[in-house]
Structure 1
Amino acid sequence: MNQLVNTKIVLSDSYDPWHNLALEEFLFRSVEKNQVILYLWQNQNTVVIGRNQNAWKECRCTKLEDDGGKLARRLSGGGAVFHDLGNLNFTFIMDRSLYDLHKQLQVILEGTKKLGINAEFTGRNDLTVDGKKFSGNAFYFEGNKAYHHGTVMIDVDVEKVSAYLQVSKEKMASKGVNSVHSRVTNLRSYRSNLTIDEMKETLQQSFQELYGKSPEPITIKENGHDLKELYAKYSSWDWLYGKTPQFDVVLETRFPWGGIDLGLTLRNGRITESKIYSDAMNANLIKQIADSLVNLPLTSENILLGLKDIDITEEDKQVIGDMKTWLQSKIKEI
């Protein structure tokens, strides 16, 4: 099978998150049938939030901007992360029929193993060493295409992680830790001379060992692709912050699969606007849930009917089931 897969390695020479995310989407839109692309990139002093997160709640945005940093929002779900030049980002972009999370993670795990570091996949989306996270992963699917991206912390300034990210106490409690410091680690703690370039080379090797030989890596210059429209999207206020209406009803909770912050605007007892902020992994499902509530009367019966109409996969059943039970009980209290 390896011989049949068309592989490509793409490197970015930019440290601008808006450029790098625009390039990621460009590669996603243009990936071919039976193709897998490994894309490696770095951001300078950046907080990247998940597709459905509230920027103001997740990031100390003013401090970040005052310090010359940038806020970015990705297409995928999941939580907020901090990137600096001590971090390497990877993205596997592929024909959806080739999506294989175990195999993709194996590229990273084999890469760290080559460096003498034994890592493992734990929780819902983390790679860890000695129980400490060095890589968070997120995923995006659309039509017949998919991508899986994540971080590799080599020598990240952990003080800045704490300075810029606002992690809720509920999220910390759900992970059984009391600080960001206690749950993340840098790979340089396990190999003191490890460099970003060495990690890049190692990942390219393990990628080709698992997926087949690739042509020479393509380095995309910052102005080497016509990404103007996508860059404008990723750098726009609407994409980064969106509108934050004054909701009539706000409901919050945390499930094992992610937090939910639901805002509803009402008129004559009917929901006219629905917005969910969440770090749940399936970004599209969260949007579908929010959209399904619009134009419904605010009664538990109608809410359940709205959620029933959502087309879900086996993995989504837990999310929908939890939302139904929670909303049914909360709406009775309103």
Structure 2
Amino acid sequence: MSNDAFRLEIVHSKSNNPWFNLALEEFLFNNVKKDEVILYLWQNDNTIVIGKNQNPWKECRCKEFEVIGGRIARRLSGGGAVFHDMGNLNFTFIMHRNRFEIKKQLQVIIDAVKDFGIEAEFSGRNDITVQGKKFSGNAFYYDGEKAYHHGTLLVNSDINKMVKYLQVSKEKIISKGIDSVKSRVVNLNTFSNSINVDTLKKKLQASFLNTYDCSSVEEYIADERMIDIQQLYDKYSSWKWRYGETPEFNVSLENRFPFGNVDINFSLHDGKISMVKIYSDALDYSFIDILSKQLTNTEFKKEAIQKSLNEVRSKNSVIDEIASWLVNCNDLI
């Protein structure tokens, strides 16, 4: 990590609109300077946010949720679907990659809740837990020299509503060794009467300043009237971005891996794969483009698919695992 001088920036969003808050997040990401480390704090009300490569129709009860005024949003990062309400606080660390240290960023969160007497730890792929129960899910996004790390913090969220509208697969629950989503997650106010969203914000800011040990700090309050991010807002609020195209597929194959769920869908024409659509909650989703391009125009036969996949097996271990599963799948002829 660089030891050059840098400055800290804390940005608060006054909006509870997920499309605005995600647009502002991308705006901050696009414009972060090399000498800046940004902590962005925001809240969405009555919202489900899905990962970049997820199928909303499988991840949540979309129609039922929208009937009660809920909003569906899609973020830039990978990972799984999350429920947001005003009992949940979101954070984003934004900086250039030479300063990006996941362990250090997590320490800001862990130290902040420790001030309430809560002993937390990082667990699994992307969770922060207390006594084995998750209160924070984290995801990461990289583009060129820049990176961000964002996550949720359940303070006093409506867990019943979360369970009602999120559709977590049975395979995912089993892989965690638990009986239900409800038994897996927990609100922080379960462990401390003094914690609420406002007190947690203050502790996070103090922990951020302490962890980065920087005297140069600027603080901003943002709302929808102050920041012109209309083009980004239009993207995040659009049907195309949130739901995408979900054409009829001839064959759909799904499997759970240690790195996440993979749902591969094939459209076929004249015995060949004319289109491939891959959904996944994997944090690192670089394999999606590689496999989609590689399999398009391949004959839908086990031997042809195996030959095609052999050409990209060396790209990374994730592709190797998926390739091994596909060529041994009973649904391929």
> How high is the TM-score relative to the length of structure 2?
0.94
Q: Give the superposition deviation at 1:253.
A: 0.8
Deviation at 1:302, TM superposition (A): 4.5
**Following TM superposition, by how much is the alpha carbon of 1:222 offset from its aligned partner in structure 2, in angstroms?**
1.6
Q: Deviations over 1:227-249 (max 9, x none)?
A: 11111110111111111111111
Give the letter for the 2:321 counterpart.
D
Which deviates more from structure 2 when the two are superposed, residues 227-236 or residues 4-13?
4-13
- Name the structure 1 match of 2:266: 264
Separation in structure 1 between the aligned mates of residue 198 and residue 100 of structure 2, nearest angstrom = 27
* Equivalence for 2:220: 218
The residue that corresponds to 2:321 in the other structure is 322
Q: Distance in 2 between matches of 1:309 and 1:248?
A: 25
Q: Is the 8 A contact 2:300 2:332 kept in 1?
A: no
Residues in 2 aligned to 1:79 and 1:135: alpha-carbon distance in whole angstroms: 12
Q: Which amino acid counterpart does residue 98 of structure 1 have in structure 2?
A: R
Matched residue, 2:254: 252
Residue 332 of structure 1: how far off its partner (Å): 7.3
3-state SS in 2 of match to 1:205: helix
CA contact (8 A) 2:119 2:130 kept: yes
Question: Are the aligned partners of 1:31 and 1:94 in contact in 2 as well (CA < 8 Å)?
Answer: yes
Question: Shift of the alpha carbon at 1:180?
Answer: 1.1
**Amino acid in structure 2 at the alignment position of 1:268:** D
Aligned residue in 1 for 2:202: 201
1:330 is paired with a residue whose SS is: coil
User: Deviation digits for residues 145-200 of structure 1, max 9, x if unmatched?
Assistant: 11110011100000111111011111111111111110000010011131211111
Task: Give, as a single letter, the amino acid of the residue that structure 2 aligns with 1:255.
Answer: F
Q: Percent identity?
A: 53
Compared CA separation, residues 171 and 56, structure 1 to 2 (3 A): same
Cα deviation, 1:216-270, whole Å, max 9, x if unaligned, reads 3111112211111111110111111111111111111111111111101112222
Which amino acid is 2:235 matched to? Answer: K
User: What is the identity, as a one-letter code, of the residue corresponding to 1:235?
Assistant: S
Which blocks of at least 5 consecutive residues in structure 2 are unaligned? none
Q: Does 1:183 align with 2:168?
A: no
Partner of residue 74, structure 2: 73
CA contact (8 A) 1:94 1:146 kept: yes
Higher mean alpha-carbon deviation, 28-37 vs 17-26, is at: 28-37
Aligned counterpart for 2:279 among listed residues 272, 277, 280: 277
Instruction: Name the CA distance, whole Å, in 1 between partners of 2:203 and 2:313.
Output: 41
Runs of 4+ in 1 over 6 A off after TM superposition: none
Distance 1:332 1:88 in 2: 43
Query: Structure 2 CA distance, aligned partners of 1:72 and 1:282?
Result: 20
SS in 2 for 1:216: strand
Residue of structure 1 in register with 2:240 after alignment: 238
Q: How far 1:213 sits from its partner (Å)?
A: 3.1
Counterpart CA distance in 2 for 1:222 and 1:333 is 51
Q: CA deviation at 1:308?
A: 5.5
Aligned partners of 2:81 and 2:218: how far apart in 1? 33
Structure 2: distance between partners of 1:115 and 1:65: 36
Contact 1:300 1:331 survives alignment (8 Å): no
The answer as to whether partners of 1:300 and 1:332 remain within 8 angstroms in 2 is: no
Which deviates more, 186-195 or 211-220?
Answer: 211-220
Secondary structure of the 1:4 match is coil
- In structure 1, give the amino acid aligned to 2:77: S
Q: Do the aligned residues in 1 keep the contact of 2:9 with 2:37 (CA within 8 Å)? A: yes
* Structure 2 counterpart SS, 1:64: helix
SS of aligned partner of 2:262: strand
Q: Deviations over 1:126-156 (max 9, x none)?
A: 0000000000001111111111100111000
1:294 to 288, 293, 296: 296
1:32 corresponds to which residue? 33
Q: 1:210, 1:57 → 2: CA distance?
A: 39
User: What is the CA–CA distance in structure 2 between the aligned matches of 1:312 and 1:224, rounded to whole Å?
Assistant: 48
**Matching residue's letter, 1:60:** R
Report 1:46-57 matches (<5 A): 46-57=47-58
Deviation at 1:289, TM superposition (A): 2.4
Which residue number corresponds to residue 60 of structure 1?
Answer: 61
Count of matched residue pairs: 331
CA gap 1:307/1:75 in 2 versus in 1, 3 angstroms: farther
Contact map agreement 2:287 2:319 (CA 8 A) in 1:
no
Determine the C-alpha separation between the residues in 2 that align with 1:256 and 1:36.
32
SS at 2:218 equivalent: coil
Deviation of 1:311 (Å): 9.8
2: CA distance, partners of 1:303 / 1:34: 47
Contact 1:86 1:196 in 2 (8 A): yes
The amino acid that maps onto 1:245 is P
Query: Secondary structure, in 3 states, of the residue corresponding to 2:225?
Result: coil
Give a deviation string over 1:36-84, Cα, whole Å, max 9, x none.
2110000001001111111011111111111111011101111111000
Q: Flag the 1:224–1:2 CA change in 2: closer, same or farther, 3 A.
A: farther
* Structure 2 letter corresponding to 1:246: E
CA distance in 2, matches of 1:305, 1:218: 55
Name the structure 2 match of 1:141: 142
